[in-house]
Structure 1
Amino acid sequence: MSRIQKELNKYQKLLAHLFGLTQSRKIYLVGGTIRDIYLHRPPFDFDFAVPGSGLELAKKFAHKIRGKFVLLSQKDDEARVVFKKKIFFDFAGIQGKTIQNDLKRRDFTINALAVPLKDGKVGEIIDLFSGLAHLEKRLIVPVSEKSLTLDPLRILRAFRFAQELNFKVSDKVIQLAQNLSLKKVAPERIGYELMRIMETKRSFWAIKTLADLTILPQIFPEISDLFANPGLLNHSLMTYKKIEELIEHKSFFSQFTKEFDAYFSSMPRRRALLKLAGLLHDIAKPHTQFATETGDVHFYGHDSLGAKIAEAMVMTRLRLARKEALMIKKLIAYHMRLHLLATAPVLTDRAIRKFFRDLADEYFGLMILTFADGYATAGKTVHLEDTILRMIELKRQYDAKRKIARLITGHDLIALGLKPGPIFKTILEELEELQVEGKIKTKEEGIEYLKVALQGLLEKEEK
């Protein structure tokens, strides 16, 4: 019994409905399903190429098994049937009238495989382009010279498959990538593939190669100036690489396992988003470069400007969710903060508490980004290690205590004649700091402090 027959037998009851609907007509199991079976990866997605309408067969099959019908493409006659939220059956009408012509239109040889199915029986595999041999060699090879030009997004798919399957990209892919343009590719498709690449454990090679092929500047035209400066480009790539190493091996951060696990489990794709923030953290440096009379070079404000550029960029170029874009924005906006704290003559507990308040859920990601940034700059991280260790220890101490109840609230500020606004947050945080430091112990002391502070402000205004 073939591998494919064994896998299909596991879903015999479901597929019996499908074969009943096809009424002895031949349909084809195609593409990634066959690839995964040959790679000993249990398939949960089954791809079928069918004569006639893929949509109609999918609708009938969904009704038979009480699955969910999902239209993928009216134009390409593609639909999906989801069974119990965990098994997926994709149907598409055969393109080009014959299965041979259909396979010629596919992206890579390892995906251009087909097996005829009739009444539940598996026929001989159709392998027109040596896909099985390339599976053995673990090589991503385009079906034809036109494969990538027919759909330029396939260059990203090539690297995504290479990363996810631990394959190599063939020289032919690199050659065909030289003259590709992604201008007409939908941002949603680009975002999906790029994030899938970044989600893999060792994606640096793929990102570096995409940079060398000038694919990344096509995705992000805003980084063209960064790419024009070899030093800045290399630093950005090395920051990305170090973040990836820290995520995989933890290294210095292995002593913070609780914080590490909590951070990366709290949001899908957080690993990929942190890497992307690392790649883009200095995006505004070319726009803020300033040289003094003595020749010193500065990039004042590159963090805040870069945060704005990156936020807009990932939303328009990749169609990332708003929450994901805000994460990247915050990390870039504050990526200099920890450097400044680590090099300050005196680092107070108050400054540390403000850091955690400002960063909130992103504090740990920023620590990793800053560590990687420092490593990529000069390879020196001792000052950051000491600072991060102290900060985490202080946070653990405060987290172990019951959260302090504020003695003064917004209602008290209104009672003192203040109008609600952003200033309330600043005032209340300052009063909370005074509570933590033990300088205010009662509500009365808090009110008195406020009255004195407000009187001082009034006297300044009168002068």
Structure 2
Amino acid sequence: MEQELYKILYIIREYSKIYDITPYIVGGFIRDYLLGKKPQDIDFLIDPFNIDFIDNLSKILKGRLVILDEERKYFRIVVKNKENTFVLDFTPIYQQNLLLEIVRRDFTINSIVLNLRNFEIYDPLKGLKDLERNVLKLSSPDSLKEDPLRILRVFRFGASGFKIDKSVFESIRKNSQRLSKIKPERIHEELYKILKNPFTSYIWKEMEEYNVLREIFPELSEMKNIPWSEPHHENPLEHSITTLYVLEELFYNIDKIFPSIKKELEKYFSEKLFSEFTKKETLKLASLLHDIGKSKTYSIDENNLVHYYGHSKVGSEMLEEIAERLKLSNKELSFIQKIIRNHMYLIDFIKNQEINPIHKLISRVNEDVPSLIFLFISDQIAIKRTFENKEYFEKLLQDFFRLKSIPKPLLSGHEIMQLFNLQPSPLVGILKEKLIEAQIEEKIKTKEEAIRFLKEILENERNTSRDHS
């Protein structure tokens, strides 16, 4: 990749001489390159700006020219080959003043400028020093005010290992309410970029401390005020963040905890759900939100014990509003709702481990059994502070991956109700579960066999009821 990158930079440098243009590289490319990463996105400042230069350059590089904002003169060249894609963004210098341009940027570590013509570094905000010290500072006191999405970028850099300067936290507290003015699509993507880091639980605590969490997830933030009792040892907000902490530890140590199915789990959790983001990031989000239904379902009994009856179902319903607010895709919503609605489903099977629930789990959440099991494990460890039944869960996961395919039910719930004159009820779900279980075991293969199978179950139920009466 480096050879291709150097070739692109060499062509831009040499071609700029023909137009008597000075191209400057600025932003994340320099930061990431100095950190030893392999960045493929490069921001260029062009002085003086010349659209013909960019147009002809795209042809020389055999790239695709994209007009991002014609009025503000924002252009992009996308250069693709078999292995790599390079994204080159070109903009003019703000008011033709390089210092003003630098001060308008978000953080000092992103304000380092390289003159591609003479290779001189321009660093008036001492970004190189901050990069060396691993410290995140704002380029100007108004940085977060100008673009409040930068508040979430602060936490993203914090999750990646940067120490956040105290002045940045002070500015976050002053500007947190401005997040409401940001397009939800931008917030949506930035949240996933935070969750893509391996360890983020402490970041969500900081978000709560500096009034950011209540702007993005008020349903989550208000959980700190919900009563709780044993077996819990912390309030529901703290418990949700602890559940995320445990989940991230599971992901990080997956090869030690489940060595026999490590490859299968990694392949499953790397499946994409939103843009370049995967089921791993989405499950982490689900772990944060898995108990939001507690705010609407808690009750206190005569022994002063707190109960949250039905919180899984209510929580999955509350996700509709969150999905609308943050513009989650249907795929994300369906996945998170499914996992949250069923996150307590394994509790009864743990008490009676002689029964293998894998078929029932599949009928509940289809291909997402690993996500359900991982959330259940994380939730239970967060409560009990110990990992119980590891062998049992490993056996469940092994059984799941041994199944070659997960069949679509031969009869839908609606068809079952029509065929047997049933009203919507838990019975319909039970029949559907039994049907999928029989399909997995290859006891039935056709629609006609499915109808006879369910008819027999219902007749046996009726006969049993008559005997008891």
TM-score, normalised with respect to structure 1 = 0.83
Pick the aligned partner of 2:218 from 210, 218, 221.
221
Shift, 1:337, TM fit:
0.7
Q: Residue 100 in 1 paired to residue 99 in 2?
A: yes
Pick the aligned partner of 1:325 from 307, 311, 333.
333
Q: Secondary structure at the match of 2:94?
A: coil
* Equivalent position of 1:430 in the other structure: 434
Q: Distance in 2 between matches of 1:91 and 1:364?
A: 44
Pairing of 1:8-407 with structure 2 (within 5 A):
9-11=6-8, 14-15=11-12, 18-19=15-16, 23-51=19-47, 53=49, 57-74=53-70, 76-84=72-80, 86-117=85-116, 121-164=117-160, 166-180=161-175, 181=177, 182-229=179-226, 231-250=235-254, 251-267=256-272, 268-317=277-326, 319-343=327-351, 345=352, 347-349=354-356, 351-382=357-388, 384-395=389-400, 399=403
Answer yes or no: is the 8 Å Cα contact 1:54–1:79 preserved in 2: no
Q: Distance in 1 between matches of 2:446 and 2:87?
A: 62
Quick one: structure 1 residues 233 and 57, their matched pair in 2 at CA, closer, same or farther if it must change by over 3 Å? farther
Bigger shift: residues 50-59 or 298-307? 50-59
Residue type of the alignment partner of 1:377 = I
Quick one: structure 1 residues 269 and 146, their matched pair in 2 at CA, closer, same or farther if it must change by over 3 Å? same
Q: Which has the larger radius of gyration?
A: 1
| Percent of residue pairs identical | 31
Shift, 1:417, TM fit:
6.7
Answer yes or no: is the 8 Å Cα contact 1:263–1:361 preserved in 2: no
Bigger shift: residues 31-40 or 431-440? 431-440
Answer yes or no: is the 8 Å Cα contact 2:194–2:200 preserved in 1: yes
Structure 1 runs not aligned, ≥5 long: none
Residue type of the alignment partner of 2:163 = K
Shift, 1:225, TM fit:
2.1
Structure 2 runs not aligned, ≥5 long: 227-233
Shift, 1:269, TM fit:
2.2
Shift, 1:52, TM fit:
5.1
Q: Secondary structure at the match of 1:183?
A: helix
Quick one: structure 1 residues 144 and 449, their matched pair in 2 at CA, closer, same or farther if it must change by over 3 Å? closer
Shift, 1:137, TM fit:
0.8
Answer yes or no: is the 8 Å Cα contact 1:303–1:332 preserved in 2: yes
Shift, 1:299, TM fit:
0.8
Shift, 1:336, TM fit:
0.4
Quick one: structure 1 residues 403 and 77, their matched pair in 2 at CA, closer, same or farther if it must change by over 3 Å? closer
Which ranges of 4 or more aligned residues in structure 1 deviate by more than 4 Å? 6-9, 52-57, 402-406, 416-429, 431-461
Q: Secondary structure at the match of 2:96?
A: coil
Q: Secondary structure at the match of 2:235?
A: helix
1:301-329 CA distance string (max 9 Å, x none): 11011112224314422x33221222111
Quick one: structure 1 residues 56 and 163, their matched pair in 2 at CA, closer, same or farther if it must change by over 3 Å? farther
Q: Secondary structure at the match of 2:199?
A: coil
Shift, 1:270, TM fit:
1.8
Shift, 1:420, TM fit:
12
Bigger shift: residues 42-51 or 86-95? 42-51
Q: Distance in 2 between matches of 1:7 and 1:434?
A: 55
Bigger shift: residues 75-84 or 171-180? 75-84
Shift, 1:115, TM fit:
2.4
Q: Distance in 2 between matches of 1:316 and 1:244?
A: 26
Residue type of the alignment partner of 1:114 = V
Residue type of the alignment partner of 2:35 = L
Alignment size in residue pairs: 443
Shift, 1:147, TM fit:
1.2
Q: Distance in 2 between matches of 1:326 and 1:31?
A: 37
Quick one: structure 1 residues 281 and 76, their matched pair in 2 at CA, closer, same or farther if it must change by over 3 Å? farther
Q: Distance in 2 between matches of 1:146 and 1:264?
A: 39
Residue type of the alignment partner of 1:91 = F
Quick one: structure 1 residues 43 and 441, their matched pair in 2 at CA, closer, same or farther if it must change by over 3 Å? closer
Quick one: structure 1 residues 455 and 125, their matched pair in 2 at CA, closer, same or farther if it must change by over 3 Å? closer
1:21-44 CA distance string (max 9 Å, x none): 6x1122322122222233233332
TM-score, normalised with respect to structure 2 = 0.82
